[in-house]
Amino acid sequence: MGRVYDDISEEQAHWIGEQPMFLVATAAPDAYVNVSPRGLDTFRVLGPRRVAWLDLTGSGVETIAHLRADGRITLMFCAFEGLPKILRLYGQGEVREPGDAGYDELRSRFPDVPGERAIIDVSVGRVADSCGYGVPRMDLVGARDQLLTSAERKGPEKMAEYRKLKNTRSIDGLPGLDPKHQ
pTM of the predicted protein model? 0.95
Mean pLDDT of the chain: 95
Q: Which domains does the chain have, with CATH numbers?
A: 3-132+142-176 (2.30.110.10)
Cβ 131 vs Cβ 2: under 8 Å: yes
User: Rounded to an integer, what distance in angstroms lies between the CA atom of residue 96 and that of residue 161?
Assistant: 19
Of the CA atoms within 13 Å of residue 103, those in its CB half-sphere come to 13
Q: Tens digit of pLDDT for each residue in 46-101?
A: 999 999 999 999 999 999 999 999 999 999 999 999 999 999 999 999 999 999 98
Sequence-ordered list of residues with C-beta below 8 angstroms from that of 74, at least 6 positions apart, any chain: 24, 25, 26, 88, 89, 90, 91
Higher pLDDT, 6 or 180: 6
In tens, the pLDDT along 99-134 reads: 998 999 999 999 999 999 999 999 999 999 999 999
**pLDDT at residue 1 greater than cutoff 70:** no
pLDDT of residue 97: 96
Q: Are 136 and 87 in contact (CB under 8 A)?
A: no
